[in-house]
């Protein structure tokens, strides 16, 4: 499987104009999807080395697909559509753990609902008692003769 450096990728991908554009795309792909590209060290002097990225055929195909979709979708959406996932999805919790958290939340909400329901029933009883007391008081007042003028 052959590996390609920046300039070779730019030459092979239509719609990719410069090495600096490819570097920006690589950084954006790494930040959005968490994908890591192969890196290598190249000797640039007697004691100095530079880090270079090497790309595979699959990477070239992905870059070409991004270049094709970029004009219609925009760069970020094109990257996500080609790679099919985002970094957040990689770090999702296992489903069982999510279900356990939801069960705990559900139990807390249900208990809170029951407490509120009991409190509302008590308040309703108090209000009904007050209504009955007021009605009795009103009956007593209306049954009394107040004379010529009634209120």
25 burial level (CB within 10 Å; 0-12, 13-18, 19+): buried
Same domain, 72 and 122: no
Q: Given this model, what pLDDT does residue 115 score?
A: 96
Asked if pLDDT for residue 119 goes beyond 90, the answer is: yes
| Residue recorded with tokens 């559509």 | 81
Other beta carbons within 10 angstroms of residue 138's beta carbon come to 10
d(CA 146, CA 151) in angstroms, rounded, equals: 8
Note the pTM of the prediction, 2 decimals. Answer: 0.55
Q: Report percent pLDDT > 70 for the chain.
A: 88
d(CA 66, CA 55) in angstroms, rounded, equals: 15
Same domain, 99 and 56: no
Tokens describing residue 72: 């219609």
User: Where is mean pLDDT largest: 79-83, 125-129, 140-144?
Assistant: 125-129
Look over the chain and give the mean of its residue pLDDT values, rounded to a whole number. 86
pLDDT digits (tens, 9 = 90+) for 35-67: 888 888 988 888 899 898 999 999 999 999 999
Q: Report percent pLDDT > 90 for the chain.
A: 45
Give the residue from 40, 35, 60, 59 showing the smallest Cα distance to 50.
Answer: 40
Same domain, 18 and 56: yes
Q: Which domain holds residue 17?
A: 6-90
Residue predicted with more confidence, 131 or 36: 131
Same domain, 74 and 105: no
Residue 28 maps to a domain: yes
Residue 148 maps to a domain: no
Question: Are the C-beta atoms of residues 51 and 66 closer than 8 Å to each other?
Answer: no
Q: Given this model, what pLDDT does residue 110 score?
A: 96
């Amino acid at each position: 499987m052959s590996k390609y450096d920046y300039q070779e990728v730019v030459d092979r991908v239509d719609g990719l104009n410069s090495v600096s554009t490819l570097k920006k795309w690589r950084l954006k792909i790494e930040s959005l999807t968490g994908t890591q590209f192969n890196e290598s060290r190249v000797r640039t002097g007697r004691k100095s080395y530079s880090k270079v990225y090497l790309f595979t055929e699959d990477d070239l195909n992905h870059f070409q697909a991004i270049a094709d979709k970029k004009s219609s979708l925009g760069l970020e959406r094109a990257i996500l559509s080609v790679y099919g996932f985002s970094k957040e999805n990689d770090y999702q919790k296992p489903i069982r753990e999510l279900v356990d958290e939801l069960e705990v939340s559900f139990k807390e909400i249900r208990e809170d609902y029951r407490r509120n329901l009991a409190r509302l029933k008590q308040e309703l009883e108090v209000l009904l008692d007050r209504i009955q007391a007021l009605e009795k008081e009103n009956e007593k007042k209306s049954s009394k003769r107040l004379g010529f003028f009634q209120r």
